[in-house]
Amino acid sequence: MSSHSKPFEQVTPAEYEENPVWEGAYDKEGVEDQDETWRRPLVGKRNVDETMIGPFIALRVVGAELPANAMYDHERQSICEIFVWWNGAWVLPEEALGSEVSVYYVALPSIAGQHSVRFLSQRSTDYYAQRESMS
């Protein structure tokens, strides 16, 4: 079940914690003031599975404990379009964490039934972070 959509920039960390899986509100494009940046929560969803196409998921930055969000890619087992909550806004990771540092993220929803999935970005300036191998 999905709920109301809103611009990505207006989704708060608290909303991501309450509903850790979101989808693009692409079917609403063409509606006045609504574009491809709009998202809507998948209310009640706490697990990301292969049937979801490009879900946006809630994350935490390991160590800094900052809220983050990104699009999950099932095929590549990675996240991309990563943003971190910093000073009351969603910013690119390097703005919040500095440049050229490795960053670990942990997913708030489970992914294919696995809890606390971690992703590693070799540098905060990287566009994506790769899922860590399951051990």
Residues 6+ apart with CB under 8 A from 53: none
Residues 6+ apart with CB under 8 A from 102: 120, 121, 122, 123, 124
pLDDT of residue 1: 46
pLDDT of residue 100: 82
d(CA 104, CA 30): 37
This prediction's pTM: 0.90
Domain ranges of the chain: 6-131
pLDDT digit string (tens) for the chain, length 135 residues: 446 889 989 999 999 999 999 998 866 555 566 677 889 999 999 999 999 989 999 999 999 999 999 999 999 999 999 999 999 999 999 999 998 899 999 999 999 999 999 999 999 999 999 999 865
